[in-house]
Structure 1
């Protein structure tokens, strides 16, 4: 079986899809599958070996139409004899796949985010994903046509699957393949004085970090570490200075591996105040490490995966301040609950579910 994985980002770029594609490629190769990855990069390249086991094709980043055409050419060249082309972005990969007009391979799209809603929030929109779909029906027409061009849709959560079934008609066959769960030994946390909050993720608008900084003004006995990078980084740093909280708010570059584990160990609470978090892998990583998590109530995580997390309305400054205060008052009980192990879901299971899906198409 030959599978082409089409992704907008790939290591060393940072982000959920980048890590997901690399891990999936590694697992598929172990199952005897021939894998090629096509991705965007600053510098183009032909076929370079990915850890010596699969090929990576780099397409130069640039203006949207030009890069889509170049990506389509790469898909046509390297995917014409593939059994499946598996796209990890509805627009940056899905549109070039339409341009490529491949005949043989089945076309599969994985949905772990929502392109239209994320662009809406980038422009200043402050609606949750569910509210956005209720209030902006016309913007879905383009996505409706794009989704119908695929043979199968893979959702990372039932939350998003049900939302799409509610608002889109005539969807292709679809299924849910949940993310793998981190494998870690949970560590019992003792609260620090002052309380140490942590945010870890992309610095983009829908993460609602502006309101988190505003809430910090009302939380004088609290420190906040923001770990990540993204288009909102400079604006958030300037805002912390304008609010005169820069002595209590620390910005840190993205971390991985042992460094990330040490950051979890050194903090009391991971806070994800996003407008919506469809499938927050960071929350699962923190929870697996035993770090308490305060998560937006609009999330796609199942009840089982939310075990040990505190889900609350974090849509405004008042709500964030109240939620942090509630966690602080019950911290020992929450921390004790986080020591319990999560259910197991290794990458081998995720890979097996993909192989079964690809074989059934």
Structure 2
């Protein structure tokens, strides 16, 4: 099968969609498919409309003979791909990421609204946000299928975007085989809580920092060693290694659909504290410590609780026993299965 992956970013860019695109590319190539990738490179330097037009031509140039076109984006790649596919008279499917409209709205206004509540009432959108909203809706409605990574987001978007349930599918995120553990019997190498994240308002970093300061005070009163918060970023492989050697991972955002960082923590055997506003709550419930991202006291108390080595060890054991695995091979097969189902093709991994 000839496959085109259209993505807003691709390595060496850092981010979930970049890793997703690269791993699908490598997986499908290894299975014998002919795979191409269309991603923004030098086009980013152009003005908004021009860069989108240039990306549209890239999709047409690389996808004119594709059997399947997969878009890993909600707007930046999805909208140009929609127009490109219309001109080529080709169908396409979208695999959603986060919610760009919500993210940009929170960043612009500073209104720290939970993702699940964002569509509950009419918002005063800027012109840019209105354009994103209008064109994104068109891209989703014209797609042959829309793939979500969680039922949580799927239900919210089916209602808000009026998506046909028959065209909406779930392919969960990657959670691979477990990484090589640290030396047997050895504890964490430090007392660092890894929160490496972009400095965006919806990531809730400022409240997390305030809560963490309170947690340090609580831990000190309990006679526990000091803890530290690590918000630094790194390239993917280095970041995973940082997680593997850390004390814990923490994510307290206002809404995270299917956070890669948590699945990386599970692979590394590192316990984690996770926002309850997430699409993977049911999947990881047996090994997670959940927090209310709007409750500073709750975050502080959970961090202070985890700061006790006995509690950390208990959570690490729960993570170790968590057996669910979802490989890139499975993800690739599930996406192709969606395509075949929508186009009633005979099933087969290589075409």
TM tier, smaller = 0.7 to 0.9
Of the structure 1 ranges 122-131 and 259-268, higher mean CA displacement relative to structure 2 is found in 259-268
* Residue matched to 1:196: 192
* Residue matched to 1:321: 300
Structure having the larger proportion of residues in strand = 1
Matches within 5 A, 1:27-176: 27-41=27-41, 43=42, 59-100=43-84, 101-123=86-108, 124-136=110-122, 142-171=135-164, 173-176=167-170
SS in 2 for 1:4: strand
The answer for unaligned runs of 5 or more in structure 2 is 125-129, 218-225, 344-351
SS in 2 for 1:109: strand
Of the structure 1 ranges 200-209 and 82-91, higher mean CA displacement relative to structure 2 is found in 200-209
Whose RCO is larger (CA < 8 A, sep 6+)? 2
* Residue matched to 2:236: 256
| 1:357 positional shift | 2.2
SS in 2 for 1:5: strand
Q: TM-score, normalised by structure 2?
A: 0.83
SS in 2 for 1:35: strand
Aligned 8 A contact 1:3 1:35 in 2: yes
1:148-191 CA-to-partner distances (Å, cap 9, x unmatched) read 12111011111111111222224371111111212224557747
Q: Does residue 335 of structure 2 align to residue 345 of structure 1?
A: no
Cα separation, partners in 2 of 1:189 and 1:289, compared to 1, 3 Å: farther
CA RMSD of aligned residues (A): 2.3
1:49-68 CA-to-partner distances (Å, cap 9, x unmatched) read xxxxxxxxxx4443211100
Aligned 8 A contact 1:199 1:226 in 2: yes
SS in 2 for 1:304: helix
Of the structure 1 ranges 143-152 and 123-132, higher mean CA displacement relative to structure 2 is found in 143-152
CA distance in 1, matches of 2:196, 2:45: 26
Cα separation, partners in 2 of 1:2 and 1:263, compared to 1, 3 Å: same
Cα separation, partners in 2 of 1:85 and 1:296, compared to 1, 3 Å: same
Structure having the larger proportion of residues in helix = 2
1:33-77 CA-to-partner distances (Å, cap 9, x unmatched) read 211111111x3xxxxxxxxxxxxxxx4443211100111111222
The answer for unaligned runs of 5 or more in structure 1 is 44-58, 229-253
1:72-114 CA-to-partner distances (Å, cap 9, x unmatched) read 1112222222222211112101221233233442111111211
Cα separation, partners in 2 of 1:268 and 1:34, compared to 1, 3 Å: same
* Residue matched to 2:340: 359
* Residue matched to 1:222: 227
Q: TM-score, normalised by structure 1?
A: 0.81
1:197-253 CA-to-partner distances (Å, cap 9, x unmatched) read 11123332211111112223322433111122xxxxxxxxxxxxxxxxxxxxxxxxx
